[in-house]
Amino acid sequence: MEPVSRPEHRPPAGELEPPGFTRHGTPAFRRTNLALFAAGLATFGLLYCTQPLMPEFSRDYGVSAATASLSLSLTTGVLAFAMLFAGGVSDAWGRKSVMTASLLSSAVLVLLTALVPDWHMLLVLRALLGLTLSGLPAVAMTYLSEEMHPDSIGLGMGLYISGNAIGGMGGRLVAGVLAEFVGWRIGVATVGVIGLLSGLVFWRILPPSRHHVRHPLHLGALMGRFAAAFRDAGLPWLFAEGFLLLGAFVTVYNYIGYRLLAPPYGLNQAVVGAIFSVYLIGTFSSAWMGHLAGKLGRRKVLWTAFALMLAGLALTAMKPLALIVAGIVAVTFGFFGGHSIASSWVGRRAGSNKAQASSLYLFSYYMGSSIAGASGGLFYASHGWNGVAVFVGALLAAGLLIALRLYRLPPLVSPSRPETEPPIPQ
């Protein structure tokens, strides 16, 4: 819990107002981003640590590739629905309190996952993980949207997503490599311990909210704020972009391991796990493309992320291993850049409904992972990697068309700037 001496509400009338928004280059910016970097490291390590282990699950439990993918798809499906309400809960209980509880309880569940002997019990724990994890991603986006200055939110969101990238890479890499040498259970337990330590760091250093006003959770008012998001000209399309971005990305990573473990490549689990180190490219692309979009406008940059992912996908259909790895790099670069742009754009367009708009974006985002990630297994079973590539290509083509539609959106005008000043890029 947060110290009572540092509440998360505005001071009464007559007292000093809280300081201004956090800007890059300040100590508060560094503390905020270090804390959220640790949160992203924990969240996405805990979430994705089972992805490279799907071939291990197929061997140990005698399940198909599509069934093994439930260890991730079930988690992201529950996560998607739970996040619809996580923002409302944080409105009432406070941003930092909800995020801290989410991180610590999720780490404990992953530690328990390493101990269960039964496949169905493993799936139960992974479903519960989706519920507990829901308190972090949507609330973190809302926290950044509320606390960051408009000039710094693109960089701040990009740095947060960089932590997500390293967490996703680290969880996959640690679990995948350790599975080869000491078994997948030790790998999963190690990820759980890292998540627990990261959660404690987050709790200690994240500054409390200064611009959030707590208010009780009322279902009717919450539904009204959700409905308001769909009256915006751009938000529903951005929700769709989230679905397509993560759906395409997760499908590639779910089944590329099966391809590389099989002939003619015959790689071992440690090498396949090491391929996930290309996630490091996401730590650069999310911050760089997010900052670029802040300068040039999100409308002008988002479509390039989908174009790059399509080019990378085409490379994964080639035979040489070097080209496949290059394709994975391109898909990863485009994905993290696109997610950084789309997620910060949601915060900019949402106005006073940032928590609900962020929840709806992430609902679509993780439903993409759940639905497309599981569906890709059917294409892999019927047509191998080429079938997966065609399926993912269709998702990315749809995303590119929507990005081109979003290009025609008029820029937002900041209410704090005179109409004669240039609009804030979006």
Q: What is the pLDDT of residues 119-147, one digit of tens each?
A: 999 999 999 999 999 888 778 877 887 77
Q: b or e along 85-104 (b: 16 or more beta carbons within 10 Å of the residue's beta carbon)?
A: bbbbbbbebbbbbbbbbbbb
Report d(CA 354, CA 356) in Å as an integer: 6
What is the mean predicted confidence (pLDDT) over 186-203?
A: 93
Lookup: tokens for 139: 């609330």
Q: Are 21 and 147 in contact, with CB atoms under 8 Å apart?
A: yes
Is pLDDT of 222 > 60? yes
Lookup: tokens for 423: 């609009």
CA separation (Å) from 96 to 29, 55, 90, 129, 386? 16, 37, 8, 19, 44
Q: Are 58 and 221 in contact, with CB atoms under 8 Å apart?
A: no
Comparison of pLDDT for 371 and 22, the residue scoring more: 371
**pLDDT, position 221:** 64
Question: How would residue 18 be classed by pLDDT, with cut points 50, 70 and 90?
Answer: very low
**pLDDT, position 262:** 86
Q: Are 57 and 119 in contact, with CB atoms under 8 Å apart?
A: yes
Name residue, tokens 């994964």.
Answer: 316
Name residue, tokens 């709790």.
Answer: 203
Range scoring the smallest mean pLDDT among 3-12, 76-85, 269-278, 368-377:
3-12
Name residue, tokens 């101990």.
Answer: 115
**pLDDT, position 189:** 95
**pLDDT, position 335:** 93
Q: Are 345 and 234 in contact, with CB atoms under 8 Å apart?
A: yes
Three-state SS at 50: coil
Give the H/E segment covering residue 185.
Answer: helix 184-205
Is pLDDT of 5 > 70? no
Report percent pLDDT > 70 for the chain.
85
**pLDDT, position 22:** 72
pTM of the model: 0.72
Question: How would residue 16 be classed by pLDDT, with cut points 50, 70 and 90?
Answer: very low
Q: What is the CATH number of domain 27-212+229-406?
A: 1.20.1250.20
Average pLDDT over all residues of the chain: 82
**pLDDT, position 117:** 87
Question: How would residue 403 be classed by pLDDT, with cut points 50, 70 and 90?
Answer: very high
Q: Which ranges of 262-320 would DSSP assign to H, the alpha helix?
A: 269-275, 280-296, 298-316
CA separation (Å) from 341 to 155, 203, 236, 247? 10, 27, 15, 17
Domain extents for the chain?
27-212+229-406
Report percent pLDDT > 90 for the chain.
36
Three-state SS at 273: helix
